[in-house]
Amino acid sequence: MKNFQTGAETWSSPHTLFLYEAVKPSRPSLTLIGCSEDSLVVSVKSSSDGSCRIRYKLNNVHQWTLLPDSVSVGADRQLIFTIKHLQTFSVYRAAASCKPKVGVWSDWSSETSGKTLDRAPLKPPDVCYRLDKTNSDGSLLLYLMWKAPDPGDAGGRILGYQVSCDGSVQNVTRATALLVVEEGNCSVAAFNTAGRSPAAHLKVEQRRGDLPSVRNLWVSSSYPDVEALLVQWKFPISPSSVPPISYLNLQWSSELNPSTSRWSTVDGLSSSTLIKDVDSAESYLITVIPVYHQLCGPPQSLSADLKHGALLEVVGLKVAAVNKTTVTVKWAWQRRSGPIRVRRYRVMLRTDSDSQSVSLWPDQSQHTFFSLTPYTQYSLLLLADDVTRSIVPVTTDFDELPAVATATPLLLLAVTVFIISILSRTVYKSYFFPPISSPRGSTTGQWLMDPSLQKCVEKNILEIEDFQVRDVLGDKSLITVNPNSLLPSEETHEDSPLPVQLSVQLSVQLATLKLDSEYISEAPQISDQHRHEAHSRFNQKEDEQLDVAKRHFEFEAHQTSCEEEFLLNSEAENEHGDGSYLICETDYITNSCFRADGNNSFSTA
């Protein structure tokens, strides 16, 4: 070492070096001797004495695993190594490197590959089943599904499954099976070249009811921040008769290659999980299956990819039904047409003062909003991550109940006021304006106003000219018509509805009538013509009186006497005047209404 300031040089103590020690030794040889279910046995041969080391890896893995210890080896001697804790039925690659006692490590030897042996699976598969009735003969369609266990968990690879139901055995290579069976016992066991695993036993019963599936399945992505798919769901609303969910099977497979499916088991209390083993260039069909002990629930599936999440979008939002307080909306789902990433869809119904919203899921296609205000205009919004995609106006129906509730008291008040006014008018009239008696209300007034009685009275009016006669002196004597006084019994029944009896008294005053023999002797005889004329005149009056009798009026008829001398001389006197004839005949007297009173007068009743 030289000091540049002073120029002095300093030398170390001498070291002896052998050149052959600096030469890298040749690579050892590695040979596969044998293998087992979980190990490989190899031999290493080195050209010099020293020690060797070994590394190994799976055939399709880039990272090597180095054994922690190195083993001494003699020159040209084989050293046996056992590589343990390997996976069954797997291909491994191994290499070795050696160095002499003094020197450096040689290069790695050429790689040697080996394959571990098969081992019978150690655990039974996780199996669930679902039954569907096919025919009326009692045969059932048995749907079996199981998850292929990981090689480390199963203890060995699985080539297939042996399904046995009531003595019928068949081998299935897929993770599902569809069989036509009857009620009974079934078993499923995994097998490989080394043997079979313990069997999973099933009791197939038809009486078990339908099981619900998970709800509101959705897949979202946070790529490129997180290279995984977030799968979320909600547990079904189950009745008490349905057993609780034991676990959930999560299956995803490429849509282009459905046969390459992968499985994952999720705890029965979890409502989300991450799928990490996905490729950003592929889309996947993700299926979630609830398992109730050994019963498979209906699967729910959704397409998704790492860049966009769920490949579905909401279209066709519309109003399906509207009434006073509810609005029902419908929508449809379709595969997403554009590169849009949506974490959540929502529908909101709002006004200026109120709003209601609900999240949309692929297993729903309609929703009803309740407790709305009648006759109010709302706006229906479709939101994608709080971004408005569409707006639909809607107005609730008019509610007539408030109008009826408002109008009813007013109507009742009006009716009450009207009734009170009518009653008040009646009360005021009775107290302050007493009623005045009206002739129409009396019995006499009613009798006088009766048209039938008026007609009868008119027919009973007597013409005074019909009863005027010429006396012997040439003067006209007047026959007076006077009403008879009522009998006592008639006075007491004045207002009774019995037929009224009228009495008319016709009186002919003959006191001044003097007849001498000379007048009588000279009186002409009454001719038949005159007799007929007088008789017809009285017959006309007689008919009118008979008509009155038919109307329940009673008249009293009394016979009157006419002196012969007057009758003989009346015709002679009539020749010199225009007086009327008074003829008394037997028939007329019998049917007439005239009667003779004690004062030489004629009367009729």
CATH of the domain at 179: 2.60.40.10
Average pLDDT, the chain: 75
Q: Is 413 a domain residue?
A: no
For the segment 236-249, the average pLDDT, to the nearest whole number, is 85
Burial 126-145, CB ≥16 within 10 A → b, else e = bbbbbbeeeeeeeebebebb
395, 416, 435: which is the final residue of a domain?
395
**73 with 168, same domain?**
no
Q: Is 434 a domain residue?
A: no
Q: Is 410 a domain residue?
A: no
DSSP letters along 197-243, please?
Answer: PPPEEEEE-S-S---PPPEEEEEEE-TTTS-SEEEEEE-----TTSP
**305 with 388, same domain?**
no
141, 173, 204: which is the final residue of a domain?
204
For the segment 448-470, the average pLDDT, to the nearest whole number, is 61
Q: Is 438 a domain residue?
A: no
**592 with 487, same domain?**
yes
Q: Are 479 and 602 in contact (CB under 8 A)?
A: yes
Strand partners, 390: 382
Using CA atoms of 11, 17, 19, 20 in order, give the dihedral in degrees to the nearest 10: -160
Q: Is 437 a domain residue?
A: no
pLDDT digits (tens, 9 = 90+) for 497-529: 433 333 333 344 443 444 444 444 444 444 555
The C-alpha atoms of residue 201 and residue 265 are separated, in whole angstroms, by 20
For the segment 133-146, the average pLDDT, to the nearest whole number, is 72
| pTM beyond cutoff 0.85 | no
* pLDDT band (50, 70, 90) for residue 455: low
Say yes or no to pLDDT of 555 above 70. no
Share of the chain above pLDDT 70, in %: 68
Q: Between 478 and 412, whose confidence is greater? A: 412
pLDDT for 138 equals 62
**191 with 276, same domain?**
no
The C-alpha atoms of residue 369 and residue 350 are separated, in whole angstroms, by 11
**Residues near 222 by beta carbon (within 8 Å), at least 6 away in sequence:** 228, 230
**Residues near 522 by beta carbon (within 8 Å), at least 6 away in sequence:** 569, 572
Say yes or no to pLDDT of 193 above 90. no
**195 with 157, same domain?**
yes
Burial class (CB in 10 A: 0-12, 13-18, 19+), 427: exposed
The C-alpha atoms of residue 258 and residue 303 are separated, in whole angstroms, by 12
**223 with 246, same domain?**
yes
Token match 């007491």: residue?
Answer: 492
Residue 109's CB: how many other CB atoms inside 10 A? 22
pLDDT digits (tens, 9 = 90+) for 306-317: 999 999 999 999
For the segment 189-209, the average pLDDT, to the nearest whole number, is 82
Q: Is 423 a domain residue?
A: no
Q: Are 96 and 54 in contact (CB under 8 A)?
A: yes
Say yes or no to pLDDT of 135 above 50. yes
The C-alpha atoms of residue 291 and residue 190 are separated, in whole angstroms, by 20
**Of the candidates 294, 293, 290, 312, the residue with the CA atom closest to the CA atom of residue 302:** 312
Tell me the backbone φ, ψ of residue 385, rounded to 5 degrees: 55, 50
Q: Is 331 a domain residue?
A: yes
**143 with 220, same domain?**
no
For the segment 70-91, the average pLDDT, to the nearest whole number, is 85
pLDDT for 182 equals 75
**242 with 190, same domain?**
no
The C-alpha atoms of residue 390 and residue 385 are separated, in whole angstroms, by 13
pLDDT digits (tens, 9 = 90+) for 345-364: 999 999 988 899 999 999 99
Domain assignment of residue 493, given as a range:
457-604
**331 with 295, same domain?**
no
Residue type, 501: Q
pLDDT digits (tens, 9 = 90+) for 155-187: 677 888 898 887 888 888 877 787 777 777 888
**503 with 591, same domain?**
yes
Share of the chain above pLDDT 90, in %: 27
Least confident of 110-114, 221-225, 321-325, 548-552: 548-552
Q: Is 448 a domain residue?
A: no
For the segment 311-335, the average pLDDT, to the nearest whole number, is 94
**100 with 152, same domain?**
no
**237 with 360, same domain?**
no
pLDDT for 331 equals 96
Residue type, 49: D
- In the chain, how many domains are there? 5
For the segment 393-403, the average pLDDT, to the nearest whole number, is 82
Q: Which 3 state secondary structure label does DSSP give 464?
A: helix
Q: Are 545 and 441 in contact (CB under 8 A)?
A: no
115, 142, 176: which is the final residue of a domain?
115
Q: Between 6 and 133, whose confidence is greater? A: 6
